[in-house]
Structures are given as structure tokens and as C-alpha cells.
Amino acid sequence: MRRPGGAHGVQGCPGGAGLGRRLSFATVPELLASAEQHFGDAPAIVTTQRSESFRELARATRSAAMALRRRGLDRGDRVLMAAANSPSLIHVWLGAIWAGGIPAAVNPELTASEIDYLREHLRPAVTLLNGEVEALESTVTESDTPAAAVEPLEVAAIVYTSGTTSRPKGVMVRHAAYTETGASFPGWMGLKSPQRLFVCLP
């Protein structure tokens, strides 16, 4: 995918290689807006029940962002989500980023005590468990809410480690990490349209 016209320039990189070279990164909202513009009605998400276009994905993301803002989400606030895989989970995860928040989606099979630990560690402004994710989506049907102004090197989301040897740790992932991976992944995997990528992890 071409980088959107709004991509940000970052001068060089520490450590030697590429020093002085200007790198262009995009934010997650910029890449989503670019995908909506370039791919429109092409399928973005396909489940066993339905298919959703890039246009529908972007529209649902904006609606979720508005719903989260109505719940009091401000720029930089964190959102804890524990729900089964679904388009709604993707909408709310992207919606949190669109609104300037920082989502952390965790395994819905975590115990109540494990969720309590994550709440204490993350300090989320909004917590959505299981059916609350879909319920949030139903509160707003259409929205043109603009994306929050963020920079590519700001934190986009937090991913928790499995906690195999100790308590789960929150890994902060920048916008540029997501967008650069998304732009490069098809080449790494040899994916081409209309091939699909199967995702089964919680």
C-alpha cells in the first residue's frame, strides 16, 4: 500500500545506519483513511458470517471513536478490552486509536483476578468486557468524527505479554510499528490480492 500523503517525516535514526536519511511514517488513522480511499468496497474483514469492506470498516471505526469519546475517553487515555474475536472488537480497538486513546486488547479467557491485575497495572479510563464491546458499538450508528492529532512515534496500543514466567508486561507499540509492518507484511509473506490472511489467535 502506498503511504498516505499525510505521512510524517522523521530525520534519520540513531545508531548509524540511515543517519541523515529522511524516513516517512504514517499513523494508524492515516493508514486506515488511505485504505478507505484506495480500496473502498473491497473486503477488509471476512468472517464465517459476513464480509466487511474497507469503507464499512472506516465508518465503524469512526462510530466507535465517537462512542468512546462519549464515555469520557480523552487523548492518551487507555482502554482495556477483553472480548472474543469479532469485527466489533476490531472496530473498538481502531476506534480507541482514532479517538487518540491507547487500547489494550487481552485474552477474553482471563480470570477475574487476572483482569483486576491488568486494571491496576493499566489504569484504563474505559474497560469493556465481552458483550460490552458490541454494546458500545450500538450506541452510535454513524459518525464523521475526525481522528485525533497524533504523531507516528507516539504509542498507538499496548500489547500484554503472556505472563508465562511472571506477571504480564505491557509492551507499548508505536503507530509507526503498526503501519510499517502493515505496509511490509504482504511482501514478506508473498500475499497478493485477492488472497486472505487467516487469523485465529484470541
Q: What is the residue extent of each domain of the chain? A: 24-189
Provide the mean pLDDT of the chain: 88
Q: Are strands 155-160 and 170-174 parallel, antiparallel or unpaired?
A: antiparallel
Strand partners, 158: 172
Whether the per-residue pLDDT at 1 is higher than 80: the answer is: no
For the stretch 61-101, pLDDT in tens is 999 999 999 999 999 999 999 999 999 999 999 999 999 99
Of residues 197 and 163, more confidence is placed in 197
Residue whose entry in the numeric block shows the C-alpha cell 530525520: 11
Q: How far is CA 59 from CA 77, 94, 125, 137, 138, in A?
A: 22, 11, 23, 11, 13
- Which three cell numbers, joined as nine digits, stand for 70? 462519549
Q: Please list, in sequence order, all residues whose beta carbon lies within 8 angstroms of the beta carbon of residue 107, skipping any fewer than 6 positions away.
A: 82, 202
For the stretch 13-70, pLDDT in tens is 443 344 343 456 899 999 999 999 999 999 999 998 999 999 999 999 999 999 999 9
- Kindly report the pTM of this predicted structure: 0.86
Rounded-to-integer distance, Cα 54 and Cα 94, Å: 13
Rounded-to-integer distance, Cα 99 and Cα 91, Å: 12
pLDDT for the residue numbered 173? 98
Give the whole-number percent of the chain exceeding pLDDT 70.
88
| Amino acid letter, residue 11 | Q
On the CB side of 64, how many CA atoms lie within 13 Å of its CA? 29
Whether the per-residue pLDDT at 105 is higher than 70: the answer is: yes
Q: Indicate the pLDDT class of residue 196, thresholds 50, 70 and 90.
A: confident
Residue whose entry in the numeric block shows the C-alpha cell 477488509: 44
24-189 CATH fold:
Rossmann fold (3.40.50)
Whether the per-residue pLDDT at 7 is higher than 60: the answer is: no
| Cα–Cα nearest to 39, from 4, 64, 91 | 4
In the chain the first and final C-alpha atoms are separated, in Å, by 26
Rounded-to-integer distance, Cα 123 and Cα 80, Å: 9
| Amino acid letter, residue 70 | R
